[in-house]
Amino acid sequence: MKNRTVARMLLEIAQYLEIEGANAFKVNAFRRASQIVEEMGEPVEDRLAELESIPGIGKGTAAVIREIVETGESVVLKELKEKIPDSLLPLLKIPGLGPKSIGRLYRELDISSVKELEQAIKQQKIRSLPGFGAKTEQKIREGIRQLNHKPERFPIALMLPVAEEIEDQLRKCRHIRRFSRAGSLRRFRETAKDLDFIVATDHPEQVADDLVHLPQVRNVINKGATKVSVEMDYQWPVAVDFRLVRDDEFASALHHFTGSKEHNVQMRQRAKRRGYKISEYGVENVETGELTTFETEYEFFRFFDLPLIPPEIREGKGEIERAETPGGLPQFIELSDIRGDLHMHSTWSDGGNTIRDMAEACRHRGYEYMAITDHSRSLRIAGGLSEEQLLAQKAEIDELNKEWDDFKILAGVEMDILSDGRLDFDDGVLKEMDVVIGSVHTAFKQNEDVLTKRVIGAIENNHVDFIAHPTGRLIGRRGPYALNVDAMLRAAKETDTAIELNANPNRLDLHAEHLRKAREEYGVRITVNTDAHSIPELDNMKVGIGTARRGWLTADDVINTMTLDELMRYLKRHD
């Protein structure tokens, strides 16, 4: 029984209870239990004896978990399913329609599926219900339409350029004192539902007018003195919220709308214990009613005796507790710690720019080194290099390196790990290269055993320095292949081989949870690289660093923060 299955069943219990109209806190208890099981590092069946000692799990939920693990079923869930048809659950996804309304629609109009709901709307049955009206009916209709036509969340690769474009516009707006992105994009979550911006201004009405006239606005959802919601026209309609606040409210609003929800709940619980109330406007002393505001988030956290908790780790996953321990939070990696990019392509294989252009671009970014790592011979579709071409390329790199004394190009290769587990070049070639990357580009469908052996085989080769985009997933398009990540990390630790965090926003691979595991459980070295196929893609390092911070990484965990000398010693350690 997988943790995911147990979590899924607990969540279903929560959803049925919610529709039934059960106590909201009881619902929340099951939802929380579901999340705890989902995020548990080890199999839940190994922890059956100590379930009640986990915060958030008590007598009730522990009994249900044990029952599910031991019998595969839950009596509670079974009984709920008999009372409430499972075809009601999809209705929970309709925006604007919540569990209370769904419960009433079912009990009073006998509606038990999206189809029946659509029919009832057509027959104008909804508006006849007390408390519902014509507008609500239309809102539900619109909600169903959205559900069918729009992905729920957009990948960060799509949202980042949109956010950057909006920020360019905001910089040009008059009457704006300062602004910041907020929400899940500020936390560098890999997908986002919408975009949030906090805007400080003394003239909210004028700014609101300017915002609804931004070029890409296609639809104004909502326009008031504190909030402007619009839909912007990109590949899909993108929902964008602007919160207009006074300058002294800016820090509190920014914290509030950056979230995550779980982080905010924990901060508010902490405030409450101390006799304060946190809102988006400031911190209120419950006894005196006095409101404290802050110039910056740093001051906000300091008010609660905490260091600044970076947005990227505000997920309610132990960051507040860790900040309080004597050691405090780690010193998280920053973009300025990166001294070079160790994975990129040139016109020699499928890249768009020459080696010289890529080098100048890297030097311009303040790097001390970079590695050219074009594809190897088997990857024909990407113009993979033969042995001879690889050595010729190395000669070109040696020539180029004479031009700078403050910068060095390392000669590398992104070598295919073939489907039968062999490597694309033999050791004689590999030992000539400064950087050797092992990558899986074929036979993604292999089973876990075969695929994991392929990757570990590459790790065990003395010349392989790191494994690129280890799980192969493409966010929103293709899931990871069946790699046993724990087994890979163990092998990487034993051989002191690094693992890549591929900074391409379509990949972000390894993802944040695996990175945190790599650091905290295995102590594996990571390398953050862009895998750039053209100069602009070198800027993806920003997203990579955001993701590294989500994974709680420090500069010491990442090999391309080393000086050139340190790095060369590290790369040579096996040769």
Partner DNA sequence: GCCGTTTTCGGCCCGACTGTTTTCAGTCG
**In this chain, which stretch among 127-135, 293-301, 427-435, 485-493 interacts with DNA, using CB under 7 A?**
127-135
Quick check: 62 and 69 in contact, CB under 8 A?
no
Q: Whose Cβ is closer to DNA: residue 58's or residue 161's?
A: 58
Dist CA 211 CA 228 (whole Å): 8
Label residue 541 exposed, middle or buried (CB < 10 Å: 0-12, 13-18, 19+): buried
Under the binding rule (CB under 7 A), the answer on residue 151 touching DNA is: no
Residue from 23, 123, 148, 288 touching DNA (CB under 7 A): that is 23
User: Using the rule CB under 7 A, is 127 a contact of DNA?
Assistant: yes
**Is 61 one of the binding residues for DNA (CB under 7 A)?**
yes
Cβ–Cβ under 8 Å, residues 88 and 105? no
572 binds DNA (CB under 7 A): no
* 59 membership: H or E segment, kind and range: helix 59-71
For residue 256, give the H/E element and its range.
helix 250-258
131 binds DNA (CB under 7 A): yes
Number of residues that bind DNA (CB under 7 A): 57
Q: Among 16, 106, 250, 257, which residue sits at the site for DNA (rule: CB under 7 A)?
A: 257
Burial (Cβ within 10 Å: 0-12, 13-18, ≥19) of residue 328: exposed
Helices and strands per DSSP (H, E), number in the chain = 22, 17
Compute the least distance from the CB of residue 40 to DNA, in Å. 15
Stretches 91-99, 155-163, 467-475, 481-489: which one binds DNA (CB under 7 A)?
91-99
Q: How far is the CB of 272 from DNA (least distance, A)?
A: 5
Using the rule CB under 7 A, which residue among 11, 29, 44, 397 binds DNA? Answer: 29
Tell me, letter by letter, the H, E, C secondary structure of 212-273: HCCCCEEEEEEECCCEEEEEEECCCEEEEEEEEECHHHHHHHHHHHHCCHHHHHHHHHHHHH
Query: Cβ 353 to DNA, closest distance in Å?
Result: 40
Residue 87 interacts with DNA (CB under 7 A): yes or no: no
Q: Is 57 in the site for DNA (CB under 7 A)?
A: yes
User: Is 351 a binder of DNA (CB under 7 A)?
Assistant: no
The stretch near DNA (CB under 7 A) out of 88-96, 297-305, 312-320, 392-400 is 88-96
| 261 sits near DNA (criterion: CB under 7 A) | yes
107 binds DNA (CB under 7 A): no
- Enumerate residues 208-227 that contact DNA by CB under 7 A: 222, 224, 226-227
Q: Return the number of the residue (55 or 428) whose C-beta is nearest DNA.
A: 55
Q: Considering the rule CB under 7 A, would residue 30 count as an interface residue with DNA?
A: yes
3-state secondary structure of 271: helix
DSSP type of residue 305: T
User: Looking at beta carbons only, is 55 or 327 nearer to DNA?
Assistant: 55
Q: CA-CA distance, 191 to 183, in Å (whole number)?
A: 11
Instruction: Scan residues 266-325 and list those touching DNA (CB under 7 A).
Output: 268-269, 272-273, 277-280, 284
> Both ends of the chain: CA-CA distance in Å?
44
Work out the burial of residue 49: count CB atoms within 10 Å of its CB; fewer than 13 is exposed, 13-18 middle, 19 or more buried. Answer: exposed
Burial of 22 (0-12, 13-18, 19+ CB in 10 A): middle
Rounded CA-CA distance 434/171 in Å is 44
179 contributes a contact to DNA by CB under 7 A:
no
Angstrom CA distances, 118 to 89, 106, 137, 164, stand at 15, 13, 10, 39
Residue choice 72, 90, 133, 151 for contact with DNA (CB under 7 A)? 133
Residue 76 C-beta: closest distance to DNA, Å: 8
Amino acid code (one letter) for 154: F
What is the C-alpha separation between 522 and 89, in angstroms, rounded? 40
| Opening angle at CA 434, ends 430 and 439, nearest 5 | 60
Distance of closest approach, residue 107 Cβ to DNA, in angstroms:
12
Nearer to DNA, 100 or 364 (CB): 100
Provide, rounded to whole angstroms, the least separation between the CB of residue 151 and DNA: 14
Rule CB under 7 A: is residue 26 a binding residue for DNA?
yes
SS3 480: coil
How many whole angstroms separate alpha carbon 537 and alpha carbon 543?
11
What are the residues binding DNA (CB under 7 A)? 23, 25-26, 28-30, 33, 52, 54-62, 94-102, 127, 130-137, 139, 183, 193-194, 196, 222, 224, 226-227, 257, 261, 264-265, 268-269, 272-273, 277-280, 284
